[in-house]
Structure 1
Amino acid sequence: MLTRTLGERGPRVSALGIGCWALGGPAENLGLPTGWGEIDDGEAFDGLCCAYEKGVTLYDVADVYGHGRAESTLGRLVRQVPRDSMTLTSKVGYAGDPEHPYTPEHMRRQLERSLTHLGTEHIDLYFFHHNNFGPQDSDLDSAIATMEQFRAEGLIRAVGMRGPHRYALDRITGKPATDKYERFYRLFSRIGPQVIAVRDNLLTPSRAPIFALAAEHGCGVLTYKPLAQGLLTGNYTPRRPRRFGDGDHRARKRWFTDPAITIIDSALDTVRQHIGDDDPEELIRIALWSCLDHGDHTAVLAGFTTPEQVTANVACLDHPPAPEVVEIARAAMRKAQVELDAAFEVFTDQAP
């Protein structure tokens, strides 16, 4: 298994980590569908075991994923293997009290629940899941102090934060979007995280400045959504329309509608023509390595719903695609980005 070190003093982890969002199944939070489709807990556990057996040591989850369901499923594996053979990350901010997500009392309550669900006495990386710290950031200082207290108590090993993003509740209230980059840089200087989590894939704008900032500060990076939640695997096509049930966040995402999938599939056809291969694993290989190319301080999180998906993702690490193939894919997807933005006129941070 290819490994990476998350920052100057971070843990050594498998370059491919497991994202456990889908293991929470359908869910709602803050009045929004925030989960995935139906999930078989037994098959999900088998997928986690498969990942562990293949050398995956990094597992990412959050308290809001199925409101504890994903953490509990992962906890079954944690209880059966040596704890020091895994790096666990979880998050606080979206589950529980939406009015006061970052008060010390709420943060401690959520952390204790996560520890119980995961069956462990500590979490290696504990993330601020969003950047809304109350009016005029009234809870920011106490939230930072609370994280430091958790670390002093040995309940967590390191603090993380998300890269530039939009707070989910703003989508409901219609609150005007702030400059998410300016806000991220300001919060980064205040929080001083050991690791940042950045959405990065072939369908998102370049995150090069964020990766450069992380490298400058000796900060590790976890890249999430490297496969654009499956859109880059070729599994979504206009020929096989997908419909999503209640509690599935994809039902509210325009990139999962038929017009968007048509645009993305056309871009993937360009890649297929150049590689001369319809094997979806080649598309997965290109997508994953386009993220792994950012440097040795970066690991990639890929989700799954079946053990077969885990096997396919891990197999793609055996060798990288040719650099010119990755560049062809990037060019095709940049063109798709322009077409998607023009078609939907939405904020780019709503991209997959």
Structure 2
Amino acid sequence: MPRADLVLASKVGYFRGTAPHGFDPGHMRRQLEQSLENLRTDHLDIYFLHHSDFGPDDRWLRGAADTMRALRDEGLIRAIGMRGPHRFAAQRRAGGTAAREDKSATFRRVFDVVEPQILAVRDNLLTPSARSAPIISFAEQHGCGILLNKTLGQGLLVGVNDPAHPRVLGPGDHRSRKRWFTPAAGVVIGEGLARLRAIVGPDRADLVRVALWSGLLRSENAAVLVGFTRAAQVEMNLTCLGEPPPIDVIDAARAVMADVQRRLDNTGEVFLDERPPMSAVAPPVGATAPNP
């Protein structure tokens, strides 16, 4: 496949190695150079700031933004990306209401300095519309492309958490600490998927198709980040799309899974990625990342 037909993206900032901070300008450049070497290309189409923790008083924010623009000016990247409102892992460990309430203000402050062209936003059929709609609207108003991640709910929306056939997650799999992957949550989600199959079709490909199109139809500027662990999953992700389902089918699918999400919340479950860690520590489908 010609390089011009591919959209290659990466992100920086999570691991600082021996640098004073993950957003140290020199570290950011070295990380990019390593990625270009690993991918055997001369540029990335999108380079994302992984999170919004720029140190005390945003010490590293201005330097990170300037570095991103310099890399773009040099042709090493084509577009600057950042995440929508979220809490960094360390903030989730700290917990507390203040951290939850501050993420929108933090996002806007960082957005104004970075001036990104792409926003990464978590959205899938289990995401309350009130959570994702405002940031998608914000992106459209500011001329930003939108990369929707966790489109398949880390496998939940294709039946990976089937209580009848429990899946053992390895010790390094972060889903093992998430409440929506517990057997009790699996029962609730499984009941919802049974209702969903009655609407969209009985096969896993039918579930994948409606999940992907639900994301793609959120905005004309949206692409979806689709995970995989096996080549067969890549093939399914790319071949199951076909024409968009009728909008009434999309609406019905969203309604079914919104009810599932409310049931999970009402039984004390939490939204994906909101539970603190237990340890101390383009074409429509345009990108990939590990995810079953």
- Scaled by the length of structure 2, the TM-score of the pair is 0.86
Question: Which residue identity is paired with 2:111?
Answer: F
**1:349: how far off?**
5.0
Question: Which residue identity is paired with 2:254?
Answer: R
CA distance in structure 2 between the aligned counterparts of 1:111 and 1:349, rounded to whole angstroms: 27
Question: Which residue identity is paired with 1:168?
Answer: A
Which residue pairs with 2:183 in the alignment?
Answer: 258
Aligned Cα root-mean-square deviation (Å): 2.0
Which residue pairs with 2:263 in the alignment?
Answer: 339
8 Å CA contact 2:92, 2:274 repeated in 1: no
Question: Which residue identity is paired with 1:154?
Answer: G
- Distance of aligned partners of 1:208 and 1:172 in 2 relative to their CA distance in 1, 3 Å threshold: closer
Which residue pairs with 1:186 in the alignment?
Answer: 109
Matched, 1:226 2:226: no
**1:222: how far off?**
0.8
**1:274: how far off?**
3.3
8 Å CA contact 1:163, 1:184 repeated in 2: yes
Matched, 1:165 2:86: yes
SS of equivalent to 1:242: coil
> Which of 287, 292, 311 is the aligned partner of 2:211?
287
8 Å CA contact 1:267, 1:333 repeated in 2: yes
Question: Which residue identity is paired with 1:197?
Answer: A
**1:345: how far off?**
5.0
**1:84: how far off?**
2.2
SS of equivalent to 1:125: strand
CA distance in structure 1 between the aligned counterparts of 2:273 and 2:167, rounded to whole angstroms: 23
* Number of aligned positions between the proteins: 271
- Scaled by the length of structure 1, the TM-score of the pair is 0.72
Deviations 1:268-308, CA, capped at 9 Å, x for gaps: 11222334x32111111111111111222111121112222
SS of equivalent to 1:161: strand
Matched, 1:305 2:229: yes
- Distance of aligned partners of 1:349 and 1:245 in 2 relative to their CA distance in 1, 3 Å threshold: closer
CA distance in structure 1 between the aligned counterparts of 2:45 and 2:22, rounded to whole angstroms: 21
Which residue pairs with 1:177 in the alignment?
Answer: 99
> Which of 198, 223, 232 is the aligned partner of 2:121?
198
CA distance in structure 2 between the aligned counterparts of 1:129 and 1:198, rounded to whole angstroms: 12
SS of equivalent to 1:145: helix
SS of equivalent to 2:140: helix
Matched, 1:210 2:135: yes
Q: Which runs of 5+ in 1 are unaligned?
A: 1-80
Question: Which residue identity is paired with 1:189?
Answer: D
CA distance in structure 1 between the aligned counterparts of 2:181 and 2:220, rounded to whole angstroms: 32
Question: Which residue identity is paired with 2:100?
Answer: T
CA distance in structure 1 between the aligned counterparts of 2:233 and 2:194, rounded to whole angstroms: 22
CA distance in structure 1 between the aligned counterparts of 2:148 and 2:108, rounded to whole angstroms: 18
Which residue pairs with 1:238 in the alignment?
Answer: 163
Which residue pairs with 1:62 in the alignment?
Answer: none
Which residue pairs with 2:281 in the alignment?
Answer: none
Matched, 1:108 2:32: no
- Distance of aligned partners of 1:278 and 1:235 in 2 relative to their CA distance in 1, 3 Å threshold: farther
Whose RCO is larger (CA < 8 A, sep 6+)? 1
CA distance in structure 2 between the aligned counterparts of 1:346 and 1:230, rounded to whole angstroms: 17
8 Å CA contact 2:81, 2:118 repeated in 1: yes
> Which of 1, 6, 10 is the aligned partner of 1:90?
10
**1:329: how far off?**
1.5
SS of equivalent to 1:223: strand
**1:227: how far off?**
0.7
8 Å CA contact 1:96, 1:110 repeated in 2: no
8 Å CA contact 1:224, 1:301 repeated in 2: yes
Question: Which residue identity is paired with 2:8?
Answer: L
Which residue pairs with 1:121 in the alignment?
Answer: 42
8 Å CA contact 2:161, 2:183 repeated in 1: no
Deviations 1:216-247, CA, capped at 9 Å, x for gaps: 12111111111111111123211011121121
Which residue pairs with 1:131 in the alignment?
Answer: 52
> Which of 306, 322, 331 is the aligned partner of 2:246?
322
CA distance in structure 1 between the aligned counterparts of 2:5 and 2:244, rounded to whole angstroms: 26
8 Å CA contact 2:158, 2:204 repeated in 1: yes
**1:325: how far off?**
1.8
